[in-house]
Amino acid sequence: MLSLVYGDVAVAAGLDEAGRGCLAGPVVAAAVILDKSCVIAGLDDSKRLSPKVRARLRAEIEEKADSFSVSFASAAKIDAINILDASIYAMHQAIAALIQKPEFLLIDGNRFHPYPGIPHRCIVKGDTRYASIAAASILAKTHRDAHMVGLHESHPEYDWIHNKGYPTRKHRIAIARYGMTPQHRRSFSCKPLPTDSSTGRRKTCALIHRKGLKPKNRAIFSGSHAGEKPRIKAGFSNGLPQWLSARKPF
């Protein structure tokens, strides 16, 4: 069962984000303060929950939470300051928007910039340990998904209604065919996909890379300069655009 308390802290806010690994759309952060007596059955890391369950929990969280807020950092913001700082920026904005000021911040993950006047603790997999962080993960995920469904109406060729901006095969092929929209993160690029030894074809999973993080994190994030034109070429190789399948690894 997830904990509703953190030591003897009276008012703690849980924070989490959604959308760091996407090729398109904003990164979204949420902050949630839950009363120590608040019981919301089924709270968990949003990634473990079905869309139907997340939707039900979102409504219950927003009804029962002492305070909550959701903040967006756009693709342009991400390109300007990098994905890590944009995620933390969105968290700071969410904290500032809380009606009730927390005494302590519980941050999912291992990176955060101190928020003025409020101590914090970073907790890896915090959304599986603390109810307020799990609630924040659900709000961030559901608000971001709804936003991407709205964007899909203007750009249906990228299939955002299904992939929510993540680097699915269909999404990446659409980028190769149609180019990038203002919603795409131009500072992101796709790493070449590993070859499946059994078929000799490229696997369909990719890592997203972003420049500027420490070497130990480069397996997750690295990449090209902000504002660089997308490397798009016509033609396909092993069913994938050449710019995805032929580039050298980072």
Domain ranges, ordered by start, for the chain: 12-151, 156-245
Answer whether 0.85 is exceeded by the pTM.
Answer: no
* Cα 177 to Cα 205: distance, rounded to the nearest angstrom: 19
Q: Contact 146/133 with Cβ under 8 angstroms?
A: no
Domain 12-151 in this protein, CATH class = alpha beta
Q: In 10 A of CB 132, how many CB atoms? A: 33
| DSSP secondary structure of 131-190 | HHHHHHHHHHHHHHHHHHHHHHTT-GGG-HHHHTT---HHHHHHHHHH---TTB-TT-EE
Q: Contact 209/222 with Cβ under 8 angstroms?
A: yes
Burial bucket for residue 212 (CB in 10 Å: 0-12, 13-18, 19+): middle
27 residue type, one letter: V
If one compares 1 and 71, the residue with the highest pLDDT of the two is 71
Q: Contact 95/105 with Cβ under 8 angstroms?
A: yes
For 227-245, what is each residue's pLDDT tens digit? 333 322 222 223 333 333 2
Q: What share of the chain is helix, strand, coil (3-state, %, to 5)?
A: 35, 20, 45
If one compares 2 and 243, the residue with the highest pLDDT of the two is 2
Comparing 107-111, 155-159, 186-190, which segment has the lowest mean pLDDT?
Answer: 186-190
For 15-32, what is each residue's pLDDT tens digit? 999 999 999 999 999 999
Question: Where does the pLDDT of residue 1 fall: very low under 50, low under 70, confident under 90, or very high at 90 and above?
Answer: confident
Burial bucket for residue 94 (CB in 10 Å: 0-12, 13-18, 19+): buried
Residues 214, 217, 218, CA angle at the centre, nearest 5°?
90
Comparing CA positions, the residue from 41, 21, 23, 105 lying closest to residue 69 is: 105
Q: Which residue has the tokens 């994030």?
A: 221
- Mean pLDDT, rounded, for 194-215: 41
